[in-house]
Amino acid sequence: MSGERKLHWERVYEGKEPTEVSWYQPVPEKSLELIHSAARSTSDSIIDVGGGASSLVDRLLDVGYEDVSVLDISGKALQQSVARLGDLAARVRWIEADITDFNPSRSYAVWHDRAVFHFLTEETDRQRYIAAMKAALRAEGHFLLATFGPEGPLRCSGLDIRRYSVEMLRQLLGDDFVLQSEEIDEHRTPAGATQQFLYSWWQARA
């Protein structure tokens, strides 16, 4: 399963420019706002899970964050970000991995995921993701999640997805997390369609 998944995403990034994919954002404003609220110090460690070729990492470096990691299943996507950043890329830890197989070797203050978790349509994959996230987050760390919302699309990038309400997420996360905020956001794709996202910010209990 993991091999097919990787192949799919490598092909996506080989076939399209980063600005052409439906999830492209010129500025990832909502993610930046949440990260700034959660990561108060520029030394706070941040991992962007399924970061793809997003320019979120550029913006995080711009404002001075010193400990930024980007994980993605697609090496091609990561290469696009490395090429865009030039010399600055050396300041980032790049991790090519399937998040459902990820064994974190360190902890993070902030785990950010925009538009990755909703692709996990199998319960075992969701549980593996949540186990990795819980293992990686430090005590009182922050989990910033953007999935398709209750009125979001049913498919993306040719794949089935799962839409989420806050209640569904609360049940998945259990008592280990406290909801800090939730917000619906309408994403405008480069092709002009609108997609409903649910941004939620969770904090791990001490």
Ligand X SMILES: C[S@@+](CC[C@H](N)C(=O)[O-])C[C@H]1O[C@@H](n2cnc3c(N)ncnc32)[C@H](O)[C@@H]1O
Distance in Å, CB of 96 to ligand X, minimum? 9
Task: Name the E strands within the chain.
Answer: 46-49, 68-72, 92-96, 108-114, 137-148, 155-156, 159-160, 177-188, 194-204
Q: Compute the Cα dihedral for 150, 151, 152, 153 and give only its sign.
A: positive
Smaller CB separation from ligand X, 51 or 149: 51
Alpha carbons 55 and 27: distance in angstroms, whole number: 7
Minimal CB distance to ligand X: which residue? Answer: 52
- Cβ 107 vs Cβ 136: under 8 Å: yes
Contact residue for ligand X among 74, 81, 147, 195 (CB under 6 A) = 74
- The verdict on 118 binding ligand X (CB under 6 A) reads no
Smaller CB separation from ligand X, 97 or 166: 97
- The verdict on 72 binding ligand X (CB under 6 A) reads yes
- The verdict on 46 binding ligand X (CB under 6 A) reads no
Alpha carbons 67 and 195: distance in angstroms, whole number: 31
Contact residue for ligand X among 60, 104, 114, 147 (CB under 6 A) = 114
- The verdict on 104 binding ligand X (CB under 6 A) reads no
Nearest C-alpha neighbor of 27 from the set 63, 54, 65: 54
Give the binding site for ligand X (CB under 6 A).
5, 9, 23, 50-52, 54, 72-74, 77, 98-100, 114-116, 119
